[in-house]
A = this chain, B = another copy of it.
Amino acid sequence: MHVPRLDTARAPLPQALAEALAARFGNRYSTAEADRLHHGKDESSHTPAPPDAVIFAESTEEVSSIVALCHSHRVPVIAFGAGTSLEGHLLAIHGGVCIDLSGMNRVLAIRPEDLDATVQAGVTRKQLNAALHDTGLFFPIDPGADASLGGMAATRASGTNAVRYGTMRENVLGMMVVLADGRIIKTGGRARKSAAGYDLTRLLVGSEGTLGIVTELTIRLHPIPEAISSAVCAFPDIAEAVNTVIQVIQLGVPIARIELLDALALKAINRYSKTSLREAPTLFFEFHGSPASVEEQARTVEEIAASHSGMDFDWAIRPEDRSRLWQARHDAYYACLGLKPGAHAVTTDVCVPISRLADCINETVADIAESQLLAPLVGHVGDGNFHLVLLVDPDSPVDVTCAEAFSKRLVERALRMEGTCTGEHGIGIGKQKYLALEHGSAAIDVMRAIKRALDPDNLMNPGKIFMP
């Protein structure tokens, strides 16, 4: 629905560059239409924009030499991990060369003693967790999709576990990054903390490939808790559910996950996952800790939920029950799509201070009703972050216009409540119009100054976050 500005007057790759890349990379250099199309779209509804060529890179040195070559020809470069971004991050809207990092999928080191690991950027979170099998450790960041860790760093991803374990911001210790001219830098390190110079790691996490390409990451791991239990609880209305969340957070219960789904999302899940959950606003909880601590947390939460008219508080201690519950939660996106066959999903992503969460959701629910949108709600409400899956018929101009206007009102509402236009999906193409509204133009000028300092020719994933 957001039509990117396609540079239609754009020339193909300079012949000298194409020849150099083909000579160097052989059949790992492709201009085949299928490869270009596959690498020109993500999971969003943004109009695809294929790159001019795709290279399947296998090492940091290769990425460096591709970037250096493109730099000498002033050709854009775009990194591609798993293709699961949600704001058009990887669309080649100014053409250029896509560097596919999915082949850089080696887990380079797992250090159980230090609770960290070093991986190539193409390693996915599921692959990492499989590799951690037998170590007693896990990597908690879980954005739903099986994204690559490089992509997750680039977009500052988070997900259901962030309320306890933080986002990529807190869980990347250091990175190897290729800069716009091909130089390779290492940021951060393996010490748990450091006060040595500017925090380049945190600057690059969330920079969406516009400052450099992440090729390796050292990340924090966490001990798999001795005990895990889940629970699900329905509420008569969203306000009571949200007030439960607020009280749980304020009491400092170290809850691992606390997810809200509205009645419509529950309906979608019941249909899709063959569950028979009550079709009412519902919280999904997960508790991590020692057996005693988990029981204590769950009891505390059950009491809080009961005081907010929570119904059917239902424990799931057996792993298979927990898995079924969370699988249903994870499938919510696809379940929601099933509510309106043929529809595109436009996913919103605001995040507000938790004291404003009830207001923000209530106003939003009223707005949905008035807009006659079909838009189930799912959210990482422990962080104040919630998504609406706007089910939009892409061929209906009314649907598209209505969803766009609604998204704008939602972002403006969240910003009025001191929130952010994106809790975890990033700016990409879709949220650029809100960036200055959120941060003010002086702060955006600082971001632009940094971009110009590190990428003066605007070759690193150009057209994302802001126009330089």
Contacts and interface: CB of A to CB of B under 8 A. Distances in A.
A236 to B, nearest CB: 22
Given A200-B443, A206-B199, A435-B197, A189 B419 contact: yes
B250 A446 contact: no
A296 interface: yes
Contacts of A293: 289-290, 292-293, 296
Given A193-B423, A453-B449, A185 B353 contact: no
A52 interface: no
Given A418-B190, A442-B184, A435 B249 contact: no
B196 A353 contact: no
Interface residues of A, number: 91
B192 A198 contact: no
Contacts of A418: 189-191
Given A156-B199, A251-B223, A385 B111 contact: no
B196 A421 contact: yes
A311 interface: no
B114 A355 contact: yes
A292 B119 CA distance: 38
A407 B250 CA distance: 44
A281 interface: no
B423 A197 contact: no
Contacts of A207: 198
Copies in the complex: 2
Given A155-B195, A196-B438, A431-B196, A223 B202 contact: no
B427 A197 contact: yes
A187 interface: yes
Given A192-B354, A453-B450, A440 B186 contact: yes
Given A353-B191, A453-B449, A199 B202 contact: yes
B198 A203 contact: yes
Interface string A409-427: 0000000001111111111
A16 B444 CA distance: 33
Nearest to A156: B195
Interface stretch (A163-171, A363-371, A390-398): A163-171
Contacts of A166: 170
A439 B176 CA distance: 11
A373 interface: no
A27 interface: no
Interface string A250-291: 111010000000000000000000000000000000000110
Interface in A172-190: 179, 183-187, 189-190
B354 A439 contact: no
A186 B437 CA distance: 12
A283 to B, nearest CB: 17
Interface string A324-354: 0000000000000000000000000101111
A205 interface: yes
B351 A192 contact: yes
A112 to B, nearest CB: 7
Contacts of A424: 193, 195
Nearest to A225: B252
Contacts of A450: 198, 203, 450, 453-454
A91 interface: no
A242 B423 CA distance: 39
Contact of A195 (B246, B355, B423, B447): B423
A195 B199 contact: no
A419 B196 contact: no
| Nearest 5 CB-CB pairings of A with B | A223-B252, A202-B202, A453-B453, A113-B355, A194-B420
Given A186-B439, A199-B206, 19 more contacts: A115-B249, A116-B353, A190-B353, A190-B418, A193-B420, A194-B423, A196-B420, A196-B431, A197-B439, A197-B444, A197-B447, A198-B207, A198-B450, A202-B203, A225-B252, A254-B254, A290-B293, A449-B453, A450-B450
10 contacts: A114-B355, A156-B199, A185-B443, A191-B352, A191-B385, A191-B423, A195-B425, A196-B427, A196-B435, A200-B446
